[in-house]
Amino acid sequence: MSEAMLDYDEVIAKYEPTLGLEVHVELNTNSKMFCGCATVFGAEPNTQVCPVCLGMPGSLPFVNERAIESTILIGLALNCEIATWCRFARKNYFYPDMPKNFQISQYDEPICFNGYLDVEVETDDGMRTFRVEIERVHMEEDTGKSLHMGGATGRIHGADYSLLDYNRAGIPLVEIVTKMVPGTEKYAPLVAKAYVAELRDILRSLGVSDVKMEQGSLRCDANVSLSPRGSGVLGTRSETKNVNSLRSVERAIRSEMQRHAARLDDGLKVVQETRHFHEDSGITTSGRSKETAEDYRYFPEPDLVPIAPDPAWVEELRATLPERPSVVRARLQKEWNIADKEMASMVNAGVLAVVMETVALGADSTKARSWWVGEIARQANERGVEVIDVGVTPADVARIVELVAMGELTDKLARQVVDGVIAGEGRPDDVVATRGLKVVSDDGALLLAIATAIASDAAAAEKVRGGNLNAAGALIGLVMKATQGQADAAKVRELLLKELGQ
């Protein structure tokens, strides 16, 4: 029962999209937003809880100052104004995984507001900068997690029972909300993706979050609406949740644009609702309709005092901001002497940070880039995961580059090492050892293989002796075969020619 979709080119011919993006970021503080509980990902359920984050009667929240600092850093990095006085507010609604049945959040008094983020997108006319304006950056607490058991869908409806894990309840969340983003035209899906990617890079450079989309430490709600070209009338938006990768951000926006357009073409209305994105099919399905949306009955949180960041402290924080990722990119592009297109391909593949780390660990920049953009990106793509999550670390790549440079691995062997690392066989040295992938560099062993090859193809050997160096290829092939590809072909060639008096 998938809905009708209009061809993308037709969508753009008839309609103009407006984007809106809400990103939730889990901060990587050691303790929760309003209590001292640990925040380790993947711990046994309900082991990182206390009376406060369980919402026990009588318990009270107290603010994690580190979380406020991180939020202000995010605001500053996004060119926001920082409030001199703001408050938390209660957002009231009932849900089993929300211990107090209200979430401590911020409502009309966010700590950061009125910022922007410039993102670069490759267009038909080269790289173009789109400015995404930021409405607000505010603090709140995460909810627990529900696991709905026994149902067909994994959703609460139809489940036999549900399990609740409150480890996540109270983990600091920062919500970053854009203003409406008009004028992106056919690049809307790319702008959305570039925005989330750029935001992720900034958050990573600030060191305030793990920004892992698949673990939920960075979550994106992608909103889009269409208006008939030239009408100037803003369309009804849908809000797509469960968008768990950069690629999904792009796909979800594109799919929603196609769905909206098909409805509008058929004279149907777009319903203002929450949609769920499905990674497998690339389409969205309807969630709850906003028409039955709850009234959250916001009011100022009476258990917490207002926050009034000292402007001098804010300036101190501003002074600690790291180099902006866009500035870093410009500098690296110059240092590495690469073209716009190469830089763009790295950014698109989401590998810039890991390439930088790999280079920082001593690897040659060209080699580092080629591994991440090439082999590793290909493998990640095959598996449908982000490059940085495929299981290879910058340290791994740096080591592999080193081993190749030392002549211990050939490029071909090195690719097998990458396979092994991805397969979970350990770090590169472990894979080399267990798979026995080391280049045969022992001259004795190579000379033996060369002697055997000369004996088995005396004709070729004679040609080489006679000065026909092209004939060496057949002999080298024999040696490589005998060493199961683990010899360095250049070295074999060198030894062979020497042996044959050349």
Partner 1 sequence: MITQNASEMAAAVAAGEITSEALTQAHLSRIAEVDEKVHAFLHVDAEGALAQARAVDVARAKGEKLSPLAGVPLALKDVMVQKGVPTTCGSKILEGWRPPYDATVVTKLKNAGVVILGKTNMDEFAMGSSTENSAYGPTHNPWDLTRIPGGSGGGSSASLAAFEAPLAIGTDTGGSIRQPAAVTGTVGVKPTYGGVSRYGLVAFSSSLDQAGPCARTVLDAALLHEIIGGHDIYDSTSIDAPVPPVVTAAKMRNVKGLRIGVVRELGGEGYQAGVLQRFNESVEVLRGLGAEIIEVSCPHFEYALPAYYLIAPSECSSNLARFDAMRFGLRVGDDRARSAEEVMNLTREAGFGPEVKRRIILGTYALSSGYYDAYYGSAQKVRTLIINDFNAAFAQVDVLISPTSPTTAFKIGEKADDPLAMYLNDIATIPVNLAGNCAMSIPCGLAPEDGLPVGLQIIAPAMADDRLYRVGGALEAAFNEAWGGPLMNKAPSLTGGVR
* Interacting residues with partner 1 (CB under 8 A): 51, 54-63, 90, 92, 94, 96, 99-102, 156, 160-162, 164, 295, 297-299, 302-305
192-210: burial string, b at 16+ Cβ within 10 Å, e else: bbbbbbbbbbbbbbbebbb
DSSP state of 154: S
CB of residue 34 to partner 1, shortest distance in Å: 9
CA–CA distance from 433 to each of 137, 416, 426 (Å)?
50, 12, 10
- The string of DSSP codes covering 187-214 is GHHHHHHHHHHHHHHHHHHHTS----GG
CA distance 56 to 497: 81
What counts of helices (H) and strands (E) characterise the chain? 17, 14
Of 116 and 299, which has the nearer Cβ to partner 1? 299
Query: Min. distance of Cβ 28 from partner 1 in angstroms?
Result: 23
Nearer to partner 1, 99 or 110 (CB): 99
CA distance 77 to 71: 10
94/230 with CB nearer partner 1:
94
Instruction: Please state the closest distance from residue 68 (CB atom) to partner 1, in A.
Output: 13
Select 30 or 337, whichever has its Cβ closest to partner 1. 30
**Considering the complex, what minimum distance in angstroms separates the CB of residue 316 from partner 1?**
23
As measured in angstroms, the least distance from the Cβ of 89 to partner 1 is 11
CB of 151 to partner 1, least distance (A): 12
Closer Cβ to partner 1, 164 or 395, answer by number: 164
At residue 279, φ and ψ (nearest 5 deg) are: -60, -40
Give the 3-state secondary structure of residue 20: strand
265: number of Cβ within 10 Å = 14
Q: Which is nearer to partner 1, 102 or 187 (CB)?
A: 102
Residue number, 126 or 302, with CB nearest to partner 1: 302
- Minimum distance between the CB of residue 296 and partner 1, rounded to whole angstroms? 8
Alpha carbon 224 to its chain centroid, in Å, reads 21
* CB nearer to partner 1: pick between 34 and 113: 34
Q: From CA 381, how far away is CA 375, in angstroms rounded?
A: 10
Distance CA 58, CA 74 (A): 33
- Closest approach, Cβ 247 to partner 1, in A, equals 34
Partner residues linked to 266 by β-bridges: none
Round to whole Å and give the CA distance between 319 and 307: 21
Nearest distance in Å: CB 149, partner 1: 12
Nearest to partner 1 of 303, 315 (CB atom)? 303
Candidates 26, 386, 23; CA nearest to 222 is 23
The amino acid that residue 204 corresponds to is: R
CA 254 to chain centre: 19
Going by DSSP bridges, is the β-strand pair 81-82/238-243 parallel, antiparallel, or unpaired? unpaired
